[in-house]
Amino acid sequence: QKEVEQNSGPLSVPEGAIASLNCTYSDRGSQSFFWYRQYSGKSPELIMSIYSNGDKEDGRFTAQLNKASQYVSLLIRDSQPSDSATYLCAVARTGAGSYQLTFGKGTKLSVIP
């Protein structure tokens, strides 16, 4: 059973601080890793994808991947109240004729003004 684990939170950080969101996964064959942001009542929105070990930066967001430790993280610098949402970690491995994402249950982030 492939599992993706996230701390459900809520994670509260003050405005301007760094928010750190973590995710672990059980399938060692996983090859693709994604972070989605989901506002209450809305659909998931892709914010980061990462495929290789190391860091990937995009604006205020940095995704970090460590395949040996089966660990993915998302850092949000200079957190804003508009970043308050649930963040979903998703993991995939590809196989012949299939491509499925396994999602974590999400971490709720609250940025306090």
Partner 1 sequence: NAGVTQTPKFQVLKTGQSMTLQCAQDMNHNSMYWYRQDPGMGLRLIYYSASEGTTDKGEVPNGYNVSRLNKREFSLRLESAAPSQTSVYFCATRQGTSGSYNEQFFGPGTRLTVL
Sign of the Cα torsion 40, 43, 44, 47 reads: negative
Q: How far is the CB of 79 from partner 1 (least distance, A)?
A: 24
CB 44 within 8 A of CB 34: no
Question: Which residues in the 7-66 window bind partner 1 by CB under 8 A?
Answer: 31-32, 34, 36, 42-46, 49, 51
Per-residue binder mask for partner 1 (CB under 8 A), 82-111, x = binder: ------x-x---xxxxxxxx-xxxx-----
Residue 44 or 84 with smaller CB distance to partner 1? 44
Residue 92 or 111 with smaller CB distance to partner 1? 92
Nearest-angstrom CA–CA distance, 32 and 80: 28
Total number of residues binding partner 1 (CB under 8 A)?
25
Query: CB 19: neighbour CB atoms within 10 A?
Result: 24
**Contact set with partner 1 (CB under 8 A):** 31-32, 34, 36, 42-46, 49, 51, 88, 90, 94-101, 103-106
